[in-house]
Amino acid sequence: MSGVRLRELGLDLPLDPCGPDNAITDVPGVRVGHTTLVSGHGPLVIGRGPVRTGVTVIKPRHGYERDSPVYAGAATLNGNGEFTGLEWVRESGLLTTPIAITNTHSVGTVRDALVRYDPEHATRTDYWSMPAVAETYDGVLNDINGMHVREEHVHAALRAAAGGPVAEGSVGGGTGMICHGFKGGIGTASRLAGPWTVGALVQANYGRREDLRVCGYPVGRLLGEDVVPLPGAALAPGSGSIIIVLATDAPLLADQCRRLAQRAFVGLARVGGGCADSSGDIALAFATGNEGLTPEYVTAAEQPISVRTLPHQALSPLFEAAAGATEEAILNALLAAETMTGAGGVTAHGLSTAVLIDALRRCSP
């Protein structure tokens, strides 16, 4: 579902210019698809539900990913999380598969589904596949041990992947997520950096209520359990994770993508995250500004290829764009996600616009 977004609150917030859809899909060629699984109510019965989960996929540019890879890099702020395929991204500097995000216990299923997706589209079949699949934990609201995400759900998300506006909140992999003690999930935003665009998509499932900040204002201190109830679940405060995916059309090399991914955590910190022990905070950035990066397992060509790159001194605007897009994507996820009751009657309340606006006005000088 998609609700009111941060820029639609009617407040004079200090937000930098964004692309036409304020989404990761503002980077040409990037597409996003979701499969959302919601069923059942009442007590948790493993294997039966309630089900509050799904999968989100990001396709980096038009065409088959393995035939048209992109430079990529990754960064980890805290490692209590999983993102398969990142060791090869770090080693090779290339992203050669779609990116998928789901719940913690469905990573294997989603990875295997993407492995089977490859032969259906491949130029060659004599290669290996190391898909990029990330997770955050939705076991507070969802029957996470019921393994409800299946191969057909991954393929449905791939078929649904499209440009333009992106559904946010309790959709896809973000369906059962909780963020800063509110209902969380998928959020996206973009920033313009001169002639280039940087887009972010997050799966937000982290954070303590009192740490939440909006455009620098410490609103979380005014939104205690007496204002908006917290989910009744026995998890350590701040537990959870966030996955951040950044895309840009700037011509960046692999190590520059790694540096861009690191700046996503500046945006996370601005919202009030990044300081919990039991959290997996992982970012992946890819750049579509070079064509013809044909890897050795597609063709046996050994001749040099020509690529473009920005000089390092031109990267600062992209770094700021990465931080700003991540910050706004998290807040869009919070605003889009409506109240949800899941397994055992646990309820994660949405952050209503009225409550947030009141808190912002009380924080303002």
CB–CB of 82/135 below 8 Å? Answer: yes
Residue 9 reports pLDDT greater than 80: yes
The helix or strand, by DSSP H or E, that contains position 60, with its residue range, turns out to be none
Is residue 86 in a domain? yes
Overall residue count recorded for the chain in this entry: 365
Residue 241 annotated to the active site = yes
Is residue 299 in a domain? no
The number of angstroms, rounded, from the C-alpha of 319 to the middle of its chain's C-alpha atoms is 17
Q: Exposed, middle or buried: residue 111 (CB in 10 Å: 0-12, 13-18, 19+)? A: buried
Selecting among 106, 129, 239, 241, the annotated active-site residue is: 241
Is residue 149 in a domain? yes
Selecting among 281, 306, 316, 358, the annotated active-site residue is: 281
CATH of the domain at 68: 3.60.70.12
Least confidently predicted of 1-5, 55-59, 312-316, 319-323: 1-5
Is residue 214 in a domain? yes
For residue 211, what are the CA distances in angstroms to 119, 171, 205, 222? 46, 25, 14, 10
Nearest to 158 by CA among 87, 105, 99: 99
Residue 279 annotated to the active site = yes
What are 206's two structure tokens? 């982290």
Residue 129 annotated to the active site = no
Nearest to 215 by CA among 332, 327, 337: 327
Is residue 330 in a domain? yes
Residue 298 reports pLDDT greater than 60: no
In the numeric block, the tokens 């007496």 are attached to 226
Nearest to 282 by CA among 331, 252, 323, 242: 242
Q: What is the DSSP string of 140-162?
A: TTS-GGG----HHHHHHHHHH-B
* pLDDT tens-place string over residues 29-69: 999 999 999 999 999 999 999 999 999 999 999 888 888 89
Is residue 187 in a domain? yes
Is residue 52 in a domain? yes
Range of the domain at 355: 6-294+306-363
Residues 327-340: what's their mean pLDDT? 97
Is residue 169 in a domain? yes
Selecting among 129, 170, 190, 279, the annotated active-site residue is: 279
Q: Which long-range CB contacts under 8 A does 360-365 form with residues at least 24 apart?
A: 360/11, 360/214, 360/215, 360/217, 360/219, 362/222, 363/217, 363/218, 363/219, 363/222, 364/217
Nearest to 271 by CA among 231, 242, 246, 248: 242
Number of domains in the chain: 1
Query: What pTM was computed for the model?
Result: 0.96
Residues 243-247: what's their mean pLDDT? 98
